[in-house]
Structure 1
Amino acid sequence: MTEHLLLADIVERILAAPPRPAHEIAAARRERIGAPPVAEGVEPRAADPPRGRHWSDARGHRRPVMGFTLIEVLVVIVVITVLATLVAPNVFRHVGSAKEATAKTQMEMLGSAVDAYRLDNDEYPTTEQGLAALRARPQAGPQPRSWRGPYLRRDVPLDPWGRPYVYRMPGIANPEGYDLLTLGRDGREGGEGEDADVLGWK
C-alpha cells in the first residue's frame, strides 16, 4: 500500500508540474544537438547535426536525433513500476498452482504403480522399502511374493520442490492402506498456501 501511495504521489507531482514554454524547449533541444543559441527577435535557422547523432529518412535527408525529456522518462518508469507491482503477484501465484497440479499428477502416477505392486504381491511396499520397490525388487523387509516390476518406466520422481515424496505404509491418514504426500515448499508438515501439504488421497 505504501508503494502505491508513493507512486501515486510521484505521478501527481509530474502531472502537476507547469508546462515549459515552447521557446525553452526549443532552446534545450538546440543545446542538446549542438546548435548555436538564437538571439531574441531572430528567426531560428536549422543547423547541421553533429556527427554520430543523426539518422536518415527514406529520402536520404539527415535529421537530428531528439532525446526524451526528464518528465517523459519519469512517467515511463512510474508506469513500468506500477505494472510490475500489479502483475508480479499474479505470476507467482500461478507458479505455485502449477507446482501443486504437477505434484498431484505425479502422485496419481505413483499411486497407480503402488496399486499394481499390491495386485502382484498381495501387499503394499513397506515404509522401509518405500517407492524404490516400484523400480527394483526390494532387498529389505518382507520379500514380495511375485514381483513383476519395474512398475515405473523411469526412476521415482522428486516432487516439484526437489524433495522425495513421503510414503508411509501403513498410513496415518489411511491405516489400512498407505499415505502418499509432499510437504510443499517449506518441506514441513502443515502450512498454508504454497507451504501447505499436497495429499495424494484428496
Structure 2
Amino acid sequence: MQGKARRHACVAAGHQLRPFARQKHAGFTLLELLVVVAIIGLLAAFVGPRLFGNVSKSEITTAKAQIEAFSRALESYRIDTGRFPDSSLGLQALVARPPETPKWNGPYLQKEVPLDPWGNPYSYKRPGANNRDFEILSYGRDGSPGGTDEDADLSN
C-alpha cells in the first residue's frame, strides 16, 4: 500500500494515527541521581581522611630520604676535600665548587638542592647538635622549630 491508501485503511479499521506518539524514555529520575550523589559523598567522607593521612606520611618519608641523600653526599664531599663544608656555604657546596676548595670533585648532587616537601629550605649546621659533625634539618610543615606530627622537626 502506498502512503495515502495506508492511512485511510488504518483510519477505516479504527486505528488512530498519532504523529508524535509518546514513547517511554530510559533515564534516571532526579531522586535516583540525588541518592547516588549522597552515596558518593558518604564514601568520600570515609575514605578521604585516610587518603590524606597517607599523603602526610609520604611527605615525612620523602624528607627523611632527602636528608639521608644529603648526608651521603656530604660524606663524599668530606672524603674528597678533607672536611665538611662550613655552615655559611650550606648544602650549595654539594652542587657548586666553593671558593678555595681545590680538591672538590663534585657536583655531589645530580640536581639543585631541593626544598623540603613543604616548600621550605633545608637547614645545614656545622657542627651539628649532640657532637655531630653536621646537622641537616627540615622544620616540618609549619617551617619553624619544634612541633609534633607533621610539624615535627626532622634531622639526620
**Into which bin does the TM-score normalised by the smaller protein fall?**
0.7 to 0.9
Relative to 1, partners in 2 of residues 1:65 and 1:114: Cα closer, same or farther, differing over 3 Å? Answer: same
Distance 1:156 1:178 in 2: 17
Aligned to 2:133, the other structure's residue is in SS state coil
Q: Measure how far apart 1:102 and its partner are.
A: 1.2
Distance 2:39 2:109 in 1: 51
Q: What stretches of structure 1 move > 6 A for 4+ residues in a row?
A: none
**Counterpart AA for 1:159:** D
* Cα deviation digits, residues 64-103 of structure 1 (max 9, x gap): 2344253x34432332221111111011111111111111
Q: Measure how far apart 1:113 and its partner are.
A: 0.8
Find the counterpart in structure 1 of residue 66 from structure 2.
106
The alignment yields a C-alpha RMSD, in angstroms, of 2.0
Counterpart mapping for 1:79-98 below 5 A = 79-98=39-58
Distance 1:109 1:66 in 2: 57
Q: Measure how far apart 1:198 and its partner are.
A: 2.0
| Alignment pair present for 1:187 and 2:143 | yes
Distance 2:118 2:65 in 1: 14
Q: Which runs of 5+ in 2 are unaligned?
A: 1-19
| Alignment pair present for 1:156 and 2:113 | yes
| Alignment pair present for 1:137 and 2:110 | no
Higher relative contact order (CA 8 A, sep 6+): 2
Distance 1:149 1:73 in 2: 61
**Counterpart AA for 2:152:** A
Question: Scaled by the length of structure 1, what TM-score is found?
Answer: 0.61
* Cα deviation digits, residues 121-156 of structure 1 (max 9, x gap): 2211111010111111213xxx43521221122211
Relative to 1, partners in 2 of residues 1:138 and 1:67: Cα closer, same or farther, differing over 3 Å? Answer: same
Question: Scaled by the length of structure 2, what TM-score is found?
Answer: 0.77
Relative to 1, partners in 2 of residues 1:66 and 1:131: Cα closer, same or farther, differing over 3 Å? Answer: closer
Distance 1:66 1:175 in 2: 73
Find the counterpart in structure 2 of residue 76 from structure 1.
36
Distance 2:21 2:138 in 1: 70
| Alignment pair present for 1:116 and 2:85 | no
Q: Measure how far apart 1:162 and its partner are.
A: 1.7
Aligned length: 137
Aligned to 2:136, the other structure's residue is in SS state strand
Distance 1:187 1:132 in 2: 20
Q: Which runs of 5+ in 1 are unaligned?
A: 1-46, 50-61
145-154 or 128-137: which moved more? 145-154
Find the counterpart in structure 2 of residue 55 from structure 1.
none
